[in-house]
Amino acid sequence: MAAALFYHLTRTPADRMVPTLIGKCQAQGWRIELRGTDAARMAALDEQLWQGDGFMAHGLAGGPHDARQPVLLTVADGEAPATANDPACVITLDGAAVQAAECGALERVCILFDGNDERAVEQARGQWRALAAAGVAAEYWSEGSGKWEKKA
């Protein structure tokens, strides 16, 4: 069963953290689903991953080759979507849903949330409570000191 790692972003914007996490997951040999809640944001991340500092092969969900994508960008509207690329890791943004049941088939879930947005913090707390109550191991990571530290 996947561990859920909660990343409390206070210094690093999510769009800068995403490539780092994808790289770490790919180093493990994992396929990744990058799950958001807004199609425009996912389209912007799609563009960033093609043209950013390092090319990252990926695709936006809904294409003809979703199952072959090492990184698949999806949009969840309330429910966690069925993912075509059989990911080992799901990275979520902007409060995208993660269901405890899906964690059984994953190696890791990374939940990124904006620590400067009280609504995002409350939503992450709710996700923590729900996942922990279902038996998913949860870890809290903070960059408040200027470097990433595991707090719980």
Burial group, residue 92, by CB count within 10 angstroms (0-12, 13-18, 19+): buried
**Across the strands, what pairs with 32?**
71, 89
For tokens 């780092």, name the residue.
Answer: 20
How is residue 141 written in tokens? 């990571």
**Count of beta carbons in the 10 Å neighbourhood of residue 66:** 15
Q: pLDDT tens-digit profile of 55-73?
A: 788 988 888 899 999 999 9
Structure confidence at residue 2 as a pLDDT band (50, 70, 90): confident
Burial group, residue 123, by CB count within 10 angstroms (0-12, 13-18, 19+): middle
Q: Tell me how long the chain is.
A: 152
Total domains, the chain: 1
Per-residue pLDDT for 134 more than 70?
yes
Higher confidence at residue 118 or residue 55?
A: 118
**Across the strands, what pairs with 62?**
none
Residue 54: domain span: 3-150
Report strand pairing: 71-75 vs 32-36. Answer: parallel
Q: Which residues contact 17 (CB under 8 A, 6 or more apart)?
A: 7, 9, 112
pTM: 0.93
Report strand pairing: 138-142 vs 149-150. Answer: antiparallel
13: nearest Cα among 55, 44, 58, 54: 44
Q: Which helix (H) or strand (E) holds 19?
A: helix 14-27
Q: pLDDT tens-digit profile of 74-109?
A: 998 766 566 789 999 999 999 999 999 988 889 999
Which CATH number covers residue 38? 3.40.50.10110
Mean pLDDT of the chain: 90
46: nearest Cα among 38, 76, 29, 9: 38
